Amino acid sequence: MATPNGFRKLVISVMIPLMVASGVSTVPELAFAQATTPDPAQPDTYSTPLKQPEYRQTNRYDKTDIPVQLLGINDLHGGLDTTGTAYIGSHPYPNTGTVGRLAAYLDQAQHQFKRVHHSNNTFRIEAGDMVGAAPADSSLLAHESTMHALRAMKFQIGTLGNHEFDRGLPEFNRILRGRAASASADPLVKNYPNEPTKMKIVVSNVVNRSNGKVPFGYQPYMVRTIKAHGKTAKIGFIGLEIGSLTSITPAKNTANYKILDEAQSIAKYDRILNKQGVKAVVVMAHTAVQTRDGKTTGPVVDILHKLNRIDPKNNVGLYVAAHSHQYANAMVGKTRVVQALFSGRAYDDAQAYVSPKTGKFVDLKAHVYPVLSAKADAKVKSVAQVAAIAKDADKRVGPKVNVIIGKAASSQPITDYHSNTKTMENQIGETVVDGQLYEANKPGGVRADFALTNNGGVRADLTPNAQGQITWGAAMAVQPFGNILQVVEMTGQQIQDALNEQYSNPAFYLQIAGLKYTYTDNPGSQQHYKVLKMYKTDGTPLNLTTKYRVAINDYIHGGGDDFFAFKNTPVVGSIGSDSDVFVQYIKDMAAANHPLTAPKPDRKLYQATGTTITVPAPSVTATK
């Protein structure tokens, strides 16, 4: 039996960065083909703000204007003790993360700001997805442990991400307010202490369908006063939810809400703030962006361009982005945009002055910094109070993660991408999609012809114990992110396009179920191979004009990992989170007395150029 700490390390070790080089999932909107901006004016080359030249001293504004600091995070995803490489710009920082060390670096940055400016004008803010798609030490405790950590880290203002809706917004509001769990809740949750987070939620574009008001008494914006030199000024904070929320979240969890246009919502409340004399505005938005290779792209760019068209005199100086789990630091028009990766691996530190005469930001700078490991920065010690929350959570969930949910045909691991075949197939990836197809086609299910998933969403071997038993923890290590599985409608041509997109970037590829295909070389093209013919598992060829139902996760449905063929395909229905579906599949196979066996990797057949196309042999899987 694995120890709780051993399981935590198993799950956490697979949560590597959402970078182009790694192809990790959970991000439903990553098709960054829109407008671009130049290389950021403030490249991030320093590992801590202590080394940042302009943060180490005051300047001419300090004598007349009011200094303010904005410390931000995004997409914590319950990452209490997660670690992994943080890519900031082109610089990799290994083994970054954990909330204990994040707390320490936030404290360090705030203390530096106070020492330099003699100011307490610091705000700790976050941009959504505090919870959801999380390790067991958060998810099994209904994410209350994460909210405790956020409280201990003194976060003051936040907004909603899509994962705050995973269990319904009322449930998120319960843990935010520190209220008791329902009588039917798991004992782990009922026994966890309740305490309010004390964070204020602002969200401007989520309203009740019934009355048009922001739900649960949250506010669309908030105003805070800052002081210096015997003078005061005000800062406005506007929160923003991702506009595509209803397409990436189970319908039952969003049915009561309308999601309004992002740019129009910012413009509306910027004008209201302006009338109140608030002319320094910060937006915390769960909307995607990334800076890479000298360009900044993503929906945030489009949102800000639209904002500047409809509200050209807007006062948005800082935009703290989220959702795509990428690094970003750039000017988009007149607004500084930042995003600090995910799971507590980085944070952003923006520092500015507000003129007491005009009320506007002057000299606003922002940088993104890694949460360095103890090995990389031994002088910084984890904040004991915050680290203790993670340790306690890990101890509480230990017994549950070792629950037996099924059985494998042997005690040998069903192997992951480290054991890929030449055709980029692996045993556990194909087991996962077999399970997705099986669960979709159960009586009363959504029904699907095929299931496809990106390689980045399948994170580890499935490792049975010596008796061949599969634990809940072992299953969750394979799929720890909790992407939402959707069944979409695609033509045969669109499916072929998606399969071809595998061969434009070797970092990204698909695992497939219910489907086989042949492919060959494609010389003289950036797409190294091309699909020749596609077949169902019984040998029936796919018709390019026929419509099929395909189970995919919300990440690639948004074009993630450059699979643009999936983007905007119509959603037929939702199956649930991929983590839950995989666990249920293992349970169902156990109930049917079908121990899991590694599939034969015969779904992608390479065909040498100029040879006769070989029809893949029919096969039977557990989905039949």
DSSP state letter for 1: -
Distance, in Å, from the CA atom of 579 to the CA atom of 163, rounded to the nearest integer, reads 14
What tokens does 473 get? 């923890």
Number of Cα atoms under 13 Å in the Cβ half of residue 183: 0
What tokens does 388 get? 């203790």
Between 382 and 610, where is the model more confident?
382
Is residue 20 over pLDDT 80? no
Which residues are CB-neighbours of 403 under 8 A, at least 6 positions away?
Answer: 471, 472
pLDDT for res 624: 39
Contacts of range 401-404, beta carbons closer than 8 Å, 24 or more positions apart: 401/2, 401/4, 401/7, 401/136, 401/140, 401/471, 401/472, 401/473, 401/476, 402/1, 402/2, 402/7, 402/471, 402/472, 402/473, 403/471, 403/472, 404/469, 404/470, 404/471
Return left, alpha or beta for 339; rule: phi > 0 is left, psi -120 to 50 is alpha, else beta: beta
Among the listed residues 533, 521, 404, the one whose alpha carbon sits nearest the alpha carbon of residue 473: 404
Distance, in Å, from the CA atom of 553 to the CA atom of 488, rounded to the nearest integer, reads 10
The CATH code belonging to domain 403-606 is 3.90.780.10
What tokens does 106 get? 């936030």
The one-letter code for the residue type at 168 is G
DSSP state letter for 222: E
> Is the Cβ–Cβ distance between 13 and 5 less than 8 Å?
no
Q: How far is CA 208 from CA 257, 285, 492, in A?
A: 5, 19, 39
* Distance from the Cα of residue 186 to its chain's centroid: 26
What tokens does 181 get? 């769990």
**Coil, strand or helix at 99:** helix
Which residues are CB-neighbours of 182 under 8 A, at least 6 positions away?
Answer: none
pLDDT for res 83: 85
Distance, in Å, from the CA atom of 553 to the CA atom of 75, rounded to the nearest integer, reads 18
Lowest mean pLDDT among 182-191, 302-311, 461-470, 605-614: 605-614
Is residue 17 over pLDDT 70? no
Distance, in Å, from the CA atom of 370 to the CA atom of 357, rounded to the nearest integer, reads 36
Percentage of residues of the chain with pLDDT beyond 70: 92
Q: Where are the domains of the chain?
A: 30-394, 403-606
Strands lying side by side in the sheet with 529-536: 529-536, 515-521, 604-606
What tokens does 462 get? 């499935």
Burial class of residue 449 in the structure, from the number of CB atoms within 10 Å of its CB (0-12 exposed, 13-18 middle, 19+ buried): buried
pLDDT for res 42: 57
**Distance between terminal CA atoms of the chain?**
34
Lowest mean pLDDT among 81-85, 218-222, 375-379, 468-472: 81-85
pLDDT, mean of residues 491-498: 98
What tokens does 364 get? 């606003």
Burial class of residue 567 in the structure, from the number of CB atoms within 10 Å of its CB (0-12 exposed, 13-18 middle, 19+ buried): middle
pLDDT for res 37: 52
Q: Are strands 257-259 and 529-536 parallel, antiparallel or unpaired?
A: unpaired
Banded pLDDT at 427 (limits 50, 70, 90)? very high
Is residue 4 over pLDDT 60? no
**Total number of residues shown for the chain:** 624
Lowest mean pLDDT among 36-40, 197-201, 213-217, 509-513: 36-40
The one-letter code for the residue type at 144 is E
Banded pLDDT at 139 (limits 50, 70, 90)? confident
Among the listed residues 554, 434, 419, 436, the one whose alpha carbon sits nearest the alpha carbon of residue 484: 554
pLDDT for res 620: 53
> Is the Cβ–Cβ distance between 319 and 312 less than 8 Å?
no
The CATH code belonging to domain 30-394 is 3.60.21.10
Distance, in Å, from the CA atom of 187 to the CA atom of 181, rounded to the nearest integer, reads 10
Backbone φ and ψ for 498, nearest 5 degrees, come out as -65, -40
pLDDT, mean of residues 162-188: 95
Is residue 11 over pLDDT 90? no
Among the listed residues 424, 497, 488, the one whose alpha carbon sits nearest the alpha carbon of residue 454: 424
Which residue carries 């203390």 as its tokens?
Answer: 111
**Coil, strand or helix at 355:** coil
Between 443 and 41, where is the model more confident?
443
How high does pLDDT run on average in the chain? 89
- Would you tell me how many other CB atoms lie within 10 Å of the CB of residue 277? 11
pLDDT, mean of residues 555-560: 82
Between 264 and 558, where is the model more confident?
264
pLDDT for res 607: 93
Burial class of residue 528 in the structure, from the number of CB atoms within 10 Å of its CB (0-12 exposed, 13-18 middle, 19+ buried): middle
- Would you tell me how many other CB atoms lie within 10 Å of the CB of residue 589? 23
Is residue 16 over pLDDT 70? no
> Is the Cβ–Cβ distance between 471 and 449 less than 8 Å?
no
Lowest mean pLDDT among 433-437, 460-464, 514-518: 460-464
Banded pLDDT at 623 (limits 50, 70, 90)? very low
pLDDT for res 31: 35
Among the listed residues 604, 574, 545, 243, the one whose alpha carbon sits nearest the alpha carbon of residue 426: 604
pLDDT for res 559: 81
Helix (H) / strand (E) containing 73: strand 66-73
What tokens does 383 get? 């904040």
pLDDT for res 23: 30
Backbone φ and ψ for 224, nearest 5 degrees, come out as -130, 150
Is residue 15 over pLDDT 50? no
**Coil, strand or helix at 493:** helix
Which residue carries 């630091």 as its tokens?
Answer: 329
Buried b (16+ CB within 10 A) or exposed e, 337-351: bbbbbbbbbbbbbbb
Is residue 609 over pLDDT 90? no
Banded pLDDT at 230 (limits 50, 70, 90)? very high
Q: Hey, do 30-394 and 403-606 end up sharing a CATH topology, with the first three levels equal?
A: no
Is residue 447 over pLDDT 90? yes
Is residue 41 over pLDDT 80? no
pTM exceeding 0.85? no
pLDDT for res 32: 37
Tens digit of each residue's pLDDT (9 = 90 or more) over 305-345: 999 999 999 999 999 999 988 899 999 999 999 999 999 99
DSSP state letter for 279: B
Tens digit of each residue's pLDDT (9 = 90 or more) over 189-228: 999 999 999 999 999 999 999 999 999 999 999 999 999 9
Distance, in Å, from the CA atom of 461 to the CA atom of 456, rounded to the nearest integer, reads 13
> Is the Cβ–Cβ distance between 304 and 310 less than 8 Å?
no
Return left, alpha or beta for 315; rule: phi > 0 is left, psi -120 to 50 is alpha, else beta: alpha
DSSP state letter for 452: E
Among the listed residues 577, 91, 12, the one whose alpha carbon sits nearest the alpha carbon of residue 343: 12
pLDDT for res 3: 33
Q: How far is CA 604 from CA 46, 418, 502, 517, 621, in A?
A: 45, 18, 12, 5, 16
